[in-house]
Structure 1
Amino acid sequence: MNLSDPKDLAVLLEGLLLAAGKPLSLDQLSELFEESERPEPGLLRSALAVLAQSCSGRAFELKEVASGYRLQVRTRLAPWVGRLWEERPQRYSRAMLETLALIAYRQPITRGEIEDIRGVQVNSQIVKTLIEREWIRVVGHREVPGRPAMLATTKAFLDHFNLKSLDELPPLAELREMEPEVRPVQDDDLPVPAGLQARADAALGEDAEAEPARETSFRSLLAELDTMEQGLKTDFDDLLLDELDDLDEGLPDDELDPFDDEEPQLERE
């Protein structure tokens, strides 16, 4: 193999990147060669350009990310390739994505500044998860009372989102254009159902009677519940009387209650 030929070197680099399974920088690629055969950085770049061109029209591509170069399946094939794994890709909450976006676009930024922008408290678990995934890290502390930690993204974040640098982040204006436009519904846009319109017309001029009507309805509900409770209490009393009669029938005459002729009076609550 002629390592001075970009085409031969491109084949070797393809094998190295496939075996590595992770991005490799120019320095890392260079260190894989003996000093006597180590190609110049310019030759390595030429070979990588040849490799990228050879991937044209194939299912994979050569992609340069923050950590270096890697061979990866093209993004448009992801819906089918993802079926090879039974585990579904993890979904992230809106709060986590908003926090990550603010760190990416406003870094370095503190947790308090994120809360000021979002208007809600940042869950500590969100920051912990992002740090554990090595997407963000603490890069220092703000010189203010309390010295809060300043957060910034990492190379792993760029690698995960297929970015070479933060300069490749889409502009915020472009992101806003991607959001669906919220169009206010005008009164004349949609016809009002006849039944709903009739109810609205009937309610006009009856505001003064609205509260008593709700009160009557609530009282009716209480009365109905009270009736149900009394019915249950009566059934329970009858059950106790039947059990007492059964007990009396099984006792000898001399053991019968002398007040048996009187109807038992059950105390009601």
Structure 2
Amino acid sequence: MSGAPSNVADFTPADRREHLRMLEALLFAATEPLDIATLAGRLPQGADVEGLLGELQAAYANRGVNLVKVGGRWRFRTAEDLSFLLRRDAVEQRPLSRAALETLAIIAYHQPVTRAEIEEIRGVSASKGVLDVLMETGWVRMRGRRRTPGRPVTYGTTPEFLDHFGLESLRDLPGLDELKGAGLLDSRLPPDFSVPTPSELPAADEDPLDGSELDGEDGD
């Protein structure tokens, strides 16, 4: 009796090798990371997608490109120790201002978070221009509305944020010491300060945005 999961069919070794080739081709040609559901929809029904991904990841572990999981999706990426070879070809990105970096850090760690909450944490007014810049980078999105008077918009990070910073999920965000070292937190924080735990799931007091709001309505 096969020990494969119930949704995985029994295939011959030759079939599995062909599935591995197909998976490799899909990931190589993709312009953005692909999730398991998308890959399963393009491979023969019953293919062992998770097992194949693990096998392919192991095969590329010591190659010039690696198969990595970022934000729950899979993609090929230049091996980290070889990234210096591509620096001259990389598109130069305008550095974010300190205000934008602080705001991005607050959103990443406190999401879902409103503009008023960002201002309270930073201790200064949050310029709408800063939020606009972060949304233009593709790293921040309007994710919902708080069930409080005025129905303020809540902000959160995007899969592109995880991809850019090489994070598999929000659980992989840097800890307190790394944030201090990067200058994103004041080194004179109270001794009892702790880094909050963000959530990608809707909060209990948060409603998702409707289609018209996602299509471009300005946030609060």
In the comparison of the two structures, how many residue pairs are matched? 175
Contact 1:4 1:39 in 2 (8 A): no
Among 38, 58, 65, the alignment partner of 1:60 is 65
Contact 2:107 2:113 in 1 (8 A): yes
Which residue pairs with 1:115 in the alignment?
A: 119
Gapped regions of structure 1 (runs ≥ 5): 183-269
Which residue pairs with 1:69 in the alignment?
A: 74
**Counterparts of 2:76 and 2:106 in 1: how far apart (Å)?**
30
**Counterparts of 1:116 and 1:79 in 2: how far apart (Å)?**
39
**How far did 1:48 drift?**
1.2
Which residue pairs with 2:31 in the alignment?
A: 21
Which residue pairs with 1:130 in the alignment?
A: 134
Among 21, 44, 51, the alignment partner of 1:46 is 51
After superposition, the CA RMSD in angstroms is 2.6
Contact 2:143 2:154 in 1 (8 A): yes
Change (3 A) 1:67 1:44: same
1:169 paired to 2:179:
no
Larger deviation, residues 44-53 vs 127-136:
127-136
Contact 2:61 2:67 in 1 (8 A): no
**TM-score normalised to the size of structure 1?**
0.58
In the TM superposition, 1:1-269 aligns within 5 A as: 5-33=15-43, 37-40=44-47, 43-85=48-90, 87-176=91-180
**How far did 1:66 drift?**
1.5
**How far did 1:156 drift?**
2.3
Q: Which runs of 4+ in 1 moved over 6 A?
A: none
Greater share of helix: 1
**Counterparts of 2:29 and 2:95 in 1: how far apart (Å)?**
29
Which residue pairs with 1:235 in the alignment?
A: none
Change (3 A) 1:69 1:132: same
**Counterparts of 1:140 and 1:89 in 2: how far apart (Å)?**
28
Contact 2:72 2:169 in 1 (8 A): no
Contact 1:3 1:9 in 2 (8 A): no
**Counterparts of 2:19 and 2:161 in 1: how far apart (Å)?**
30
The percentage of counterpart residues that share the same residue type is 37
**Counterparts of 1:142 and 1:21 in 2: how far apart (Å)?**
34
* Bigger Rg, which one: 1
Contact 1:65 1:164 in 2 (8 A): yes
Gapped regions of structure 2 (runs ≥ 5): 1-11, 188-220
Structure possessing the higher relative contact order (Cα contacts under 8 Å, 6 or more residues apart):
2
